[in-house]
Amino acid sequence: MVNFREYKIGARFFGIALGGSMCITLFLPSFDFRNVNATEVALDKQLWAGWESGFNLDDPWLRGDHRPLRVTLKVDPKTGQPMEATTAYVYPAGTRMPNGVDHPDILGAMVQQLSLDKGRISEANESQGAVFLLSSEPQGDGTKQFYIEDASATKGWTPDAVLKAAGDENTYHAAYGKAIFVREGCWWCHTLLPEETQDWQVFGAPPMLGDFNGESPTAFGSDRKAPDILHVGSRNSSREWMMMHFFNPRLVQPYSIMPRFDYLWGKVDAKGQTIDYDKWRSEYNEYVEGQRVTPPEVPMYASNSDARALIDFVLSLK
Ligand code: HEC
């Protein structure tokens, strides 16, 4: 007769291991995501990025149309009177509302209640567009609880009036820039996720749990071949550096492995003049070979170019 003793022990251990891990999954206390309150970071991000979803029929090629805009207001859009610089999130008519406005329960109980009661977000209307503010309510313990305010409902601000009051120079296309970040595959090299290691000291604090409420897609990145850029706007806020670095990274980092993204400038520069890429590259090659002292100048991007949106996004990563 065959002795099954070892087999039986093994089978029991297997049962204990499998059953044990199922018990841990099913019965050990875990957290309920609906009780996690969205942080200030999450609310800000949701408001500037707008409704997002990885891949969907509304946005098949990550074109980035119908994206909200973030603006800095220095005058009141209704009265024209100067006011303290205020960030507003503009959803022109037809722009899909951010996830937290569509489904307030993902904001976490406290944020949801404030956003509905004080912020009146249920009155936001996609066909008319809306303007949001990131407002806060002081708490007993000295902290602030952030929530979303629908300024079209509470203050009667319309998207058109707010965009006009802000002007193009105070308008940021960060939402479209994020679509470009995803489309261009920046995440093959860069992460948006400093880890809880020495990363802290170099790239800044890791994100908190509530920072992701309503964000889709998150852009953590795959693995890292380049610096983490979750907080890059805090360590380098120079638009000029970004322009040079995106046009050709070798202008600022001689041995950079980052590809050039000069094509994001499109056909014309800020003055409407055709960008002569061939000429630029041959002059650049002369510079590399030591036949020129300085590299050719990087053209100023047009205000409706992809380059502008991408830089708006990168500099918004604070
Ligand atoms: C092949 C890998 C690679 C890809 C793809 C890439 N980068 Fe980079 N990036 C780098 C490296 C390496 C650096 C470090 C500086 C350098 O070498 O230029 C860098 C630096 C940067 C910096 C400055 C970081 C800092 O710490 O100051 C920014 C911002 C940046 N990249 C943004 C982007 C964006 C946006 C895209 C997509 C449009 C992109 N990168 C695509 C490799 C890459």
What is the DSSP track for 66-94?
A: S--EEEEEEE-TTT--EEEEEEEEEE-TT
Distance 226 CA to ligand 1 centre (A): 6
Provide residues with CB under 6 Å of ligand 1. 181, 184-186, 188-190, 225-227, 229, 232, 236, 249, 253, 256-259, 261, 310, 314
Our mutation pick for probing the ligand 1 site, out of 255, 258, 264, counting the most ligand atoms within 8 A of Cβ, is 258
Average pLDDT for residues 222-244, to the nearest whole number? 94
Q: What are 38's two structure tokens?
A: 């969205």
Distance 90 CA to ligand 1 centre (A): 29
Per-residue pLDDT of 150-179, as tens digits, reads 999 999 999 999 999 999 999 999 999 998
- Cβ–Cβ under 8 Å, residues 18 and 103: no
- Cβ–Cβ under 8 Å, residues 316 and 176: no
Coil, strand, or helix at residue 205? coil
User: CB within 8 A of 56, min separation 6: which ones?
Assistant: none
Spatial distance between the Cα atoms of 268 and 275, rounded to a whole number of angstroms: 5
Spatial distance between the Cα atoms of 293 and 284, rounded to a whole number of angstroms: 10
Distance 258 CA to ligand 1 centre (A): 5
Distance 260 CA to ligand 1 centre (A): 10
Spatial distance between the Cα atoms of 290 and 292, rounded to a whole number of angstroms: 5
- Runs of H (alpha helix) within 71-225: 99-102, 109-117, 151-154, 159-166, 174-183, 199-203
Reported as a pLDDT band with limits 50, 70 and 90, residue 53 is low
Q: What are 255's two structure tokens?
A: 């041995």
User: CB within 8 A of 135, min separation 6: which ones?
Assistant: 118, 119, 146, 147, 148, 149
**Other beta carbons within 10 Å of 27:** 8
Task: Note the pTM of the prediction, 2 decimals.
Answer: 0.85
Closest-CA residue, ligand 1 atom 14, reads 226
> If residue 131 lies in a helix (H) or strand (E), which one and from where to where?
strand 130-138
Does the N-terminal peptide bond of residue 217 adopt cis geometry, omega within 30 degrees of 0?
A: yes
Instruction: Determine the pLDDT at residue 61.
Output: 54
Our mutation pick for probing the ligand 1 site, out of 173, 189, 223, counting the most ligand atoms within 8 A of Cβ, is 189
Spatial distance between the Cα atoms of 119 and 255, rounded to a whole number of angstroms: 50
Our mutation pick for probing the ligand 1 site, out of 183, 190, 191, counting the most ligand atoms within 8 A of Cβ, is 190
Reported as a pLDDT band with limits 50, 70 and 90, residue 270 is very high
**Other beta carbons within 10 Å of 270:** 13
Spatial distance between the Cα atoms of 56 and 245, rounded to a whole number of angstroms: 32
Question: Is 98's pLDDT higher than 70?
Answer: yes
Question: Is 4's pLDDT higher than 90?
Answer: no
Question: Is 30's pLDDT higher than 80?
Answer: no
Closest-CA residue, ligand 1 atom 33, reads 186
**Domains (ranges, CATH) in the chain?**
40-174 (no CATH), 180-316 (1.10.760.10)
Question: Is 234's pLDDT higher than 80?
Answer: yes
Spatial distance between the Cα atoms of 174 and 67, rounded to a whole number of angstroms: 9
Closest-CA residue, ligand 1 atom 19, reads 226
Q: What is the DSSP code string of 262-303?
A: GGGG-SBBTTSPBP-HHHHHHHHHHHHTTSSSSPPPPPPBPT
Closest-CA residue, ligand 1 atom 11, reads 226
Closest-CA residue, ligand 1 atom 36, reads 186
Q: What are 16's two structure tokens?
A: 């204990």
